[in-house]
Amino acid sequence: MYEKKPWLKYYESYIPESIDYPKKTMYEAIYDTSMKYPDRIAYDFLDLTSTYREFLGDIDRFANALYALGLRKGDRITICMPNCPQAIICFYAANKIGGITSMIHPLSPPKEVKFYLNLSKSKYAITLDAFYGNFKDILESTSVEKLILAKITDYLPTLKKIGFKLTSGRKIKKVPLDPRVAWWEDLMGNEYPKIEKIKMDPDELAVILYSGGTTGVPKGIELSSHNLNCLAMQASAQGPIVEGDSVLSILPIFHGFGLGVCVHTFLIDGGKCILVPKFSAETVLNLIKTKKPAYMAGVPTLYAALARNPKISKVDFSCIKGAFCGGDHLPHDIKLEFENAASKSGGNVVLREGYGLTESVTGVTIMPKNSYRQGSVGIPLSDIIIKIVKLDTFEEALPGEEGEICVSGPTLMRGYLDHPEETEKTIRVHPDGRRWLHTGDAGHMDPDGFIYFKQRLKRIIISSGMNVYPSQIEDVLDSHPLVALSCAIGIPHPHKMKSVKAFISLKDPSKASKELTKELMDYCQEHLIKWSCPEEIEFRKELPLTLIGKVAYGVLEKEELEKRKNREMDKMPNGEAFPEQTLDISCSSSLGAPDNP
């Protein structure tokens, strides 16, 4: 059935079945755009704007500085930054040299930073001065030779710079003299020899993003310039993006959706990225009111928070040409709630859900603008082919029959970093000769080619659109001297969709207490990123086991759902307002205020 591509009849007239993808690096794509549209605005960062001419000049200048520091083709540099100019300038500068960028969350705790630096074998890293403390004590245990520090004030307008220094900036600890540190301001202020053109194959490794792979253990995903360029052109075809169009770049750049769609797609098409390093629903509403973006993208929790914010009635949504949702399943009620709220504010917004994986950069499907089907995640993008196979086979399932979702197309990853066996299990060559990504996700396809995602075969919890890996949480808890065995599951959460609950069996059950609960939560916060930390802990004398001795997490999930079913019905009084939130995915303390949530 997949060979007939029944979904093509639902493409808008301007969306091509296939695209001619030029073979170039990401830097070359940005260079071409800058030559074509030198005076267009490339980005807006807290009211500071840069033309494409200025943006390319900064990229070239920083590339010269990186080369002078010693970065060479094939070297890895970790970018641990919020959505800010330094991050995207460094991203393309490294690509110009042939360096490989490893993208991680700026709020990663020191031990997690160390894990990713070592996994990526990074020789260089860049972060904000506010996060120096997460690097200073672990660098000696990594291969990092130079840590580049930037300040958020490097790219703030004068008045905002003064305001920041008088408020949040005062809370940032002064960085002591450290021979391992190079400052962004110095690197950009000095003159370095211009680097000669470095020959690069667009199919070479260029970017490392992170996902749970097929086992739930974080793995590096190898992506090429060609992967991201293809994704950008596929996403652009859904617009299309025209002069004057801008996007709210809310989703973080360590996320394939944020990097591939909300940044790279618009920058290679001459659009404007409104870089948002920190946000709440109120911030987003204010940006829509003042910046009037044409496009926005986010996770379901964002759209729920926007729809339930009373200030939405004062914002004109008529500027929004496209709103996209990914990172987690979009409940139908949230879709309708957001669309209705936006329509009352002058908009005609259709919130379109997609489906994707970091193993294919990000999205591979999108709901057609004029052909919504409840429960579906849409149809394949240009040049993406999807089929459903019967479990553990290459045999295509019948329409409506459940199986594993498999994806083929030009955005498929090169493989998992240093995990060839895992790569071979995940990307398979089928009898048709194509490379197919076995997603580990269960679903079906209807006769018209619409995809229906049912559940993840992989054991991953999605919280506020972010992947949470139970095995990683359990490894941390099991390493505590008082813990005998642990199990982490996802439990329903009214705003995050899922949060983490940990069940723990102690070596000495008599030691269970509120004090130990707090100790274990603090222990998790020391070793795990914020959204991976359990919000609840329950002590049990023993955990249920399968016949082969593994913790039966399915039993715990079923018990928990049953226990909560009646409790949730009476949880909130009638008429209680949905609370204002700062969403986890925003890097909410990315401006350096340590007391932010």
Please give the pLDDT value at position 580: 38
> Is 134 a member of any domain?
yes
Whether residue 163 lies inside any domain: the answer is yes
What pLDDT is recorded for position 471?
Answer: 80
Q: What is the pLDDT of residue 45?
A: 96
Q: Is the pLDDT of residue 356 over 90?
A: yes
Express each pLDDT in 412-423 by its tens digit.
Answer: 999 999 999 999
pLDDT-based confidence at residue 469 (cuts at 50, 70, 90): confident
Q: Say if CB 385 and CB 444 are below 8 A apart.
A: no
Supply the pLDDT for residue 203. Answer: 98
Tell me if 161 is assigned to some domain: yes
Identify whether 534 is part of a domain: yes
Which of 142-146, 190-194, 326-330, 374-378 is predicted least confidently?
326-330
Q: Are residues 452 and 466 in the same domain?
A: no
Q: What is the per-residue pLDDT for 331? A: 80
Q: Within this chain, do residues 439 and 552 fall inside the same structural domain, yes or no?
A: no
pLDDT at 537: 97
User: Confidence band (pLDDT; 50, 70, 90) for 362?
Assistant: very high
Q: Which pair of structure tokens corresponds to residue 181? A: 């540190």
Average pLDDT over every residue of 532-553: 83
Give the pLDDT of residue 367: 96
Higher confidence at residue 247 or residue 498?
Answer: 247
Q: Are 77 and 154 found together in one domain?
A: yes
Q: Which among 112-126, 158-172, 533-547 has the top mean pLDDT? A: 112-126
Identify the CATH number of the domain in which residue 448 sits.
2.30.38.10
112-121, 211-220, 275-284: which has the highest mean pLDDT?
112-121
Average pLDDT (466-471) is: 83
Give the domain-ending residue among 166, 200, 234. 200
Name residues whose C-beta falls within 8 Å of residue 233's C-beta, 6 or more positions apart in sequence: 19, 21, 268, 382
Q: Which range of residues forms the domain containing residue 509?
A: 461-567+580-586
What CATH number has the domain bearing residue 33? Answer: 3.40.50.980
Asked if 516 and 449 sit in the same domain, the reply is: no
Contact indicator for 493, 536 with CB cutoff of 8 Å: no
Q: Is residue 293 a part of any domain in this protein?
A: no
Q: What is the pLDDT of residue 566?
A: 62
Dig out the tokens for 79 from the structure: 């970018």
Mean pLDDT score, 389-396: 92
Question: Any idea which of 21-25, 266-270, 496-500 has the lowest mean pLDDT?
Answer: 496-500
pLDDT at 478: 87
Domain end (from 435, 456, 477): 456
Crossing angle for the helix pair 85-97 and 52-69, nearest 10 degrees?
60
Give the pLDDT confidence score for residue 591 in this predicted structure: 29
Give a yes or no: residue 374 inside a domain: no
Domain check: are 452 and 467 in the same one? no
**Considering the chain, what is the average pLDDT of its residues?**
89
Indicate if the pLDDT at residue 268 is higher than 80: yes
For 417, 471, 481, 544, the CA distances from 505, given in Å and listed in that order, are 34, 16, 12, 10
Number of domains in the chain: 3
**Same domain for 527 and 512:** yes
* More confident: 2 or 306: 306
| 505, 426: one domain | no
- Do residues 192 and 51 both lie within one domain? yes
More confident residue, 222 or 580: 222
Q: Answer yes or no: do 86 and 131 share one domain.
A: yes
Q: What is the pLDDT of residue 396?
A: 95
Helix axes 110-120, 514-527, angle to 10 degrees: 30
Per-residue pLDDT for 546 more than 80?
A: no
List pLDDT tens digits, range 495-505. Answer: 788 899 999 99
Q: What is the predicted pLDDT for the residue at 593? A: 27
- Over range 324-344, report the average pLDDT: 88
Which residue from 264, 271, 245, 226 is spatially nearest to 383, judged by alpha carbons? 226
Asked if residue 388 and residue 401 are part of one domain, the reply reads yes
Give yes or no: residues 528 and 436 share one domain.
no
pLDDT at 561: 84
Q: How many residues does the chain have?
A: 597
14-28, 55-69, 544-558: which range is least confident on average?
544-558
Summarised one tens digit per residue, pLDDT across range 293-307 is: 999 999 888 898 899
Instruction: Return the percentage of the chain with pLDDT > 70, whole number.
Output: 93
Q: Is the pLDDT of residue 572 over 70?
A: no
Spatial separation of the C-alpha atoms in residues 131 and 110, rounded to whole Å: 10
| pLDDT at residue number 494 | 80
The predicted model gives 25-53 an average pLDDT of 97
Omega within 30 of 0 (cis) for the link into 240: yes
CB atoms within 10 A of CB 575: 5
* Structural domain contains residue 294: no
* Alpha carbons 89 and 295: distance in angstroms, whole number: 22
Q: Are 264 and 366 in contact (CB under 8 A)?
A: no
Lowest mean pLDDT among 104-118, 161-175, 237-251, 435-449: 161-175
Contacts of 466 (CB under 8 A, 6+ apart): 255, 327, 531, 584, 585
DSSP sequence for 380-411: EPTT-EEEEE-TTSSPBPPTT--EEEEEESTT
Q: What is the mean pLDDT of residues 351-360?
A: 94
| Partners of residue 403 on adjacent β-strands | 443
| Whether residue 376 has pLDDT greater than 70 | yes
Residues 523 and 410 in one domain: no
Q: Which helix (H) or strand (E) holds 305?
A: helix 300-307
- Confidence tier at 535 by pLDDT (50, 70, 90): very high
Domain endpoint, select from 200, 231, 251: 200
For 270-290, what is each residue's pLDDT tens digit?
999 999 998 788 999 999 999
Q: CATH no. for residue 472? A: 3.30.300.30
pLDDT at 581: 36
In the chain, % of residues over pLDDT 90: 72
Query: Does some domain include residue 528?
Result: yes
304: closest CA among 116, 581, 553? 581
| pLDDT digits 0-9 by tens, 128-147 | 999 999 999 999 999 999 99
